[in-house]
Chain A
Amino acid sequence: MDFQVVVLAGGASKKLIPLISKEVPKALLPVANRPVLSYVLELLEQSNLKDLIVVVEGQDAAVRVGGWISGAYVDRLHVEVAAVPEDVGTAGALRAIARHLTAKDIMVVNGDLVSDVPPGAVAAAHRRHDAAVTAMLCSAPVSGPSESGSSSGKDKTKKPGRYNIIGLDPTKQFLLYIATGAELEKDIRIQKSILRAVGQMEIRADLMDAHLYAFKRSVLQEVLDQKDTFQSLKQDVLPYLVRSQLKSEVLLNGAPQAEENGNEKVNFQKNQVMVSRILANASTPSFHEFSGLGTNDSAPRTHKCCVYIASNRKYCARLNSIQAFSDINRDVTGEASHLSGYSFSAQNNIIHPSAELGLKTTVGPHCMLGEGSQMGDKCSVKRSVIGRHCRIGSNVKVANSVIMNHVTIADGCSIQGSVICSNVQLQERVVLKDCQVGAGFVVSAGSECKGEALAKKEK
């Protein structure tokens, strides 16, 4: 398949502090003891999309991500890792690597996507319609604030609830309107011209843009070149393409490129194309062609913005907030366990053979205990993920939490709804509820915290 995939693995997202650090960029945050990036890479591999460019913000992070990828996927995927400066935005990141893009179509996916929707289906929908852009939409999760948040971390925290407002045509194949970011808080403004052309539009608030896009390369590069103020794919490039779909500007200057990908033909010989389509009984002509046919002279150029709507049963989430981090860890060991790639035991949990459990210690269902971790006596673990080589004392209770690697937990601690990063040390009788503890932090004995973020001061 002539698709090149760009994985935007991001860098240091402010929203995920203190979970991420110089040592652990966002892409390497563990989800069920695997870096989150591995979910995307394996998803792509399943769809046979193996020509990848992983874009990481910041040189250091790039080295770390690159190191991990070359170790894990050396003979399976053809991966290049590119570093871009921080805070360039998703569009800026693509601009920076533009010269590496050569394929006819480009798929752009965020590295924080955890999903089982086949990207191949998105690619197929894109090709079928000869679209300029195809976006994947999935039904918005019922709870949890995770709206916005491009990997650049430019977005502010949003009130929970609203994800995207999306306008679709009656066949649910074309994207007619999308509101993102700040526009969500405003009234909905629909272009009449598009509505006129399509006749009927369905506006949905229950769909979420999954940040998986297929672009026609010529279009993408054209937009990135012309609109040098565009920073974000989701907030600038995609809305722009959607807005201008009936009066396309993107192909005007790119005639030779356009010709090569066959779009010019659509414009010049629309009648023939339509007739042949009808004869071939292929997909019915879309409103784009109708509206193009309206005026004979100087037919307006159109491009198509398509959508692929994932079915409700598919899992789709983005790791872009602490809440999302906990949710995804819980889901991957729980209801979406097929994503984790592990086989669960009869007790519906995964305990690495090398892990050691003390007397009367119970590990409940939907839990995970990593390689070489040790637990003392009379511990209980419920719906939690514990990483590798952790040392956990006796009488420790862990519930609804994520504990990363090399964490030391002394006796009598109680951890609920919290995230404990690597190399943290919890001394005796620490009680944590809804806390995040940054890497390497030491929580002194007997402290009780609720809803706090504990981390070492950044130098």
Chain B
Amino acid sequence: MGAQRKGATRAEDSDELARVPLQAILLADSFATKFRPITLERPKVLLPLVNVPMISYTLAWLESAGVEEVIVFCCAHSKQVISYLESSGWFSQPNFSVTTIESHNSVSAGDALRLIYERNVIQGDFILISGDTVSNMSLTQVLQEHRERKKKDPNAVMTMVIKRSKSSPITRQSRLGTDELFMAIDPNSKQLLYYEDKADYSKGVICLDKLLLTDNSSISLHNDTQDCYIDICSPEVLSLFTDNFDYQHLRRHFVKGLLVDDIMGYKIFTHEIHSSYAARIDNFRSYDTISKDIIQRWTYPFVPDVKFGGNSATKLERQGMYRASVVQSRSAEIGPFTVIGIGTKIGSNTKISNSVVGEGCTIGSNISIEGSYLWNNVTIEDDCKLMHAIVCDGVVMKSGTVLEPGVVLSFKVVIGHQFVVPSYSKVSLHEQPIKQDSDEELEYADNSSGIGEPSCTVDKSNGVMSSQLSEEQSQPTDELGTGGVGYVWSICEGSHEEEWRHSIAPIPADKLAEAMQTTEDDLELITQDGSVLPASGELKPDCIDSDDDDNEDSRDDSIDFEKEVEATFLRAVHENIKEDNVILEVNSLRLSYNKLFAECAGAIFYSMMKLALETPHTSASELCNNAVSIITKWKKLLKSYLNDIDEQIEVILTFEEMCLESAKEFFPVFAKILWHLYDKDIIHEEAVLKWDDEKKDADDSDKVFVKQSEKFIQWLREASEEEEEEEGGGEEEEGNQE
């Protein structure tokens, strides 16, 4: 005993001796495009947040939390980041070393971590954070928890920091403009068991593996927490990224990958913070929210009147007003919760409230600025009106211009006289890149100089301007009123409905109502049919009598297979994977489950129909349209499994079964969809006719669908008979001639 104890203390001693400095990896690139067009010219981490670049908040917090070594990973605009770090003195802090790693070909956090692993600079547990995080939490407790867990269970590789968000479901979703997050956590060990952050999976249900409950007798599911994107990681995390070279996104790939993978058994834990602040700037809306939090001092000590990391001191006045030395006209009114930077001039009768104005701005008279963010050296001439806008450095607004809510003006844009910029517009001197990267999360790492040449290819919408463009590159357009300079970016498809969610403008009431409505629609989808969860294709609870029971075991395998195929298909749909790749994947599934082509076809068709069912629809015809569009889109995939008439029949039978059991919504449109399948050349007429023949001897209940499609079959038969007749007639004639 005694010896053991001695050994233990000695081990602890050696632990103590081998103590490595606390390290942090700071990703100075968000690998996202949410802040475009601004991020085309300046990296996101250098965007001013209440007049201080975001990265300063992160670094200042890391320093105060006792981190000794920060490795800043720079990718896009790396030179700008490094020169900022130099000029602001972060490289020369005592007891706080900041080093940079530069990369020009990393397109994701995964790439970044793989590169850092290669460099071999991480010695122990480290904090993984991105450079757009604002926090004032203390790391002591979470680090200790992490280390203790690690001692007991070497598989506990990561601790995520989470925070309870507001209690009302509406604010919860709208506050930071982030996607909805669902997490399942073991209430005792705080282990993370499930993580779903993509709200687009508009399934109305969360699917938890039943195995989760065999280990834990209770799980708590959260919709009311936010992920702070502050992770305490063990060094294994880096090697995991290297082992799984396809991990890109920290959450979507890494966290979910670890949760799904039960072979290695790595575990992720959570740490909930209560009174301290932690949030990440993910989009314009969170930019707005976090700016306000800073002004309202939730992030103390990182507030405008406390000096940290190179901000200029301002003075806090009453009503949350911060003013540096400002030249201000007597009649100018500065409202509550406003920050005004040094050297800014404000004219008479100008009203500013709930806004941040940077340094060296010139603001004329009779201007109203409400809820907006003006960066440095902005010039605003008289009689302008700004509502909930972001205005970058060097922008000139000529007199009488109006910015409607949600406008973003990128660097040095000029808005012409009396011009009204419509809401949610984004204006930049750079043209919108025409080809959107298929993976919206990945931003191209720009050249080291930061900005590429403004491309000369012209968007269709700007086609008129092309001639002007070739003449004068520096004055790209005058679509911003007389004297205006800049391109108005068209809002790309798909993101349009998301625009209001991410913009800094307050969410219009009707959008909110709409959002609530969609959640209700989800609900409707589920409750439509009293006893069934149609979206899930679940067994009807009513029919669990006995008949399904005996063959359940034998069906397990095929159910697994169907699930796998469905998951593959859904992934393909959501991530736009090419058909060929999907076919490859399904083929490998087919081999591993030892299935026939017919079963593949059935399973794929099943997942298609299920997807159609899950796409919101209000009427049967709309549902039919959904189904048809999905079928048309993935025709090739389906057809590659339909070489044979038997396989086509299998599809019809699968469909029949669905209509009867899991997806009764299709019942009324069976014939229609069948016709479309025929029309799209997916199912040939022989298959339909053979199906009809097979059903001839079946009992009536089995024939409902044959009856429903009677007309169509009739038509097919007539058509084929006609053909035959023609042929036959010809022969006869020939015979006659003989």
Question: Residues of A at under 8 Å CB distance from B?
Answer: 154, 156, 165, 167, 180-193, 195-206, 226-227, 229-231, 235-236, 239-240, 243-244, 246-247, 249, 290-291, 294-297, 300
Contacts and interface: CB of A to CB of B under 8 A. Distances in A.
B222 A192 contact: no
Contacts of B524: 247
Of all A-B residue pairs in the complex, the 10 with the closest CB atoms, nearest first, are: A199-B224, A206-B217, A188-B208, A201-B221, A189-B205, A203-B219, A205-B213, A190-B206, A193-B523, A182-B544
Main SS class of interface, A: mixed
Given A183-B538, A227-B530, A243-B526, A203 B210 contact: no
Contact of A187 (B169, B187, B209, B542): B209
Contacts of A230: 530-531, 542
Contact of A229 (B204, B531, B536): B531
Nearest to A162: B213
Given A185-B210, A189-B207, A192-B182, A243 B217 contact: no
Contacts of B224: 199-200
Contacts of B216: 205
B513 interface: yes
Interface string B537-548: 011011011101
B208 A187 contact: yes
B167 interface: yes
A4 B169 CA distance: 38
Contacts, number: 154
Contact of B520 (A193, A200, A202, A243): A193
A180 B542 CA distance: 12
B221 A200 contact: yes
B210 A187 contact: yes
B88 interface: no
B646 interface: no
Contacts of A183: 538, 541
A193 B204 contact: yes
Contacts of B206: 188-192, 195
A294 B217 CA distance: 33
A60 B56 CA distance: 84
Given A229-B542, A247-B520, 5 more contacts: A165-B213, A187-B210, A227-B530, A239-B531, A295-B517
Contacts of B541: 180-183, 235-236, 239
Contact of A192 (B167, B204, B218, B544): B204
Given A156-B546, A192-B522, A291 B208 contact: no
Nearest to A230: B531
Contacts of A181: 541, 544
A199 B223 contact: yes
A247 B527 contact: yes
Contacts of B219: 202-203
B170 interface: yes
Nearest to B536: A189
Contacts of A167: 221
A159 B574 CA distance: 38
Interface in B166-184: 167-170, 172-173, 180, 182, 184
Given A182-B539, A182-B544, A226-B530, A188 B519 contact: no
B546 A202 contact: no
B183 to A, nearest CB: 10
Interface in B485-519: 513, 516-517, 519
A235 B172 CA distance: 34
A297 B513 CA distance: 9
A181 B541 CA distance: 8
B533 interface: yes
B549 interface: yes
Given A229-B542, A236-B531, A190 B221 contact: yes
A47 B221 CA distance: 36
Given A200-B223, A203-B219, A203-B220, A236 B542 contact: yes
Main SS class of interface, B: mixed
B218 A206 contact: yes
Contacts of B522: 191-193
9 contacts: A182-B544, A184-B210, A196-B169, A199-B169, A199-B222, A200-B223, A202-B218, A202-B220, A247-B523
Contacts of A247: 520, 523-524, 527
B209 to A, nearest CB: 6
A190 B538 contact: no
Given A200-B221, A239-B541, A240-B530, A192 B205 contact: yes
A240 to B, nearest CB: 5
Nearest to B222: A200
Contacts of B549: 156
Contact of B172 (A189, A199, A206, A295): A199
B527 A244 contact: yes
Which among A181, A192, A244 has the highest number of chain B CB atoms within 10 Å? A192
Contacts of A297: 513
B320 to A, nearest CB: 29
A201 B544 contact: no
A195 B181 CA distance: 11
Contacts of B516: 294-295
Contacts of B222: 199-201
Contacts of B527: 243-244, 247, 249
A206 B216 CA distance: 9
B208 A190 contact: yes
Nearest to A193: B523
Contacts of B180: 192, 196
A203 B519 contact: no
Nearest to B549: A156
Nearest to A206: B217
Contacts of A200: 220-224
A204 B536 CA distance: 22
Given A191-B526, A244-B527, A235 B544 contact: yes
A188 B214 CA distance: 12
Which among B184, B206, B207 has the highest number of chain A CB atoms within 10 Å? B206
A240 B531 contact: yes
B245 to A, nearest CB: 30
A193 B206 CA distance: 10
Contacts of B218: 202-206
A186 B170 contact: no
A227 B182 contact: no
Nearest to B552: A185
Nearest to A176: B221
Nearest to A154: B545
A297 B514 CA distance: 12
Contact of B531 (A202, A227, A290, A296): A227
A186 B533 contact: no
A189 B531 contact: no
B517 to A, nearest CB: 7
A165 B527 CA distance: 20
Nearest to B530: A227
Contact of A290 (B168, B517, B536): B168
Interface in B385-431: none
Contacts of B184: 203
Nearest to A235: B541
A154 B547 CA distance: 12
Contacts of B170: 294
Interface in B267-292: none
Nearest to B517: A295
Interface in B200-242: 203-210, 212-213, 216-224
A190 to B, nearest CB: 4
Contacts of A235: 541, 544
A202 B542 contact: no
A399 to B, nearest CB: 33
A191 B523 contact: yes
A5 B218 CA distance: 32
Contacts of A165: 213
Which among B182, B213, B549 has the highest number of chain A CB atoms within 10 Å? B213
A295 B168 CA distance: 13
A313 to B, nearest CB: 18
Contacts of B182: 192, 195
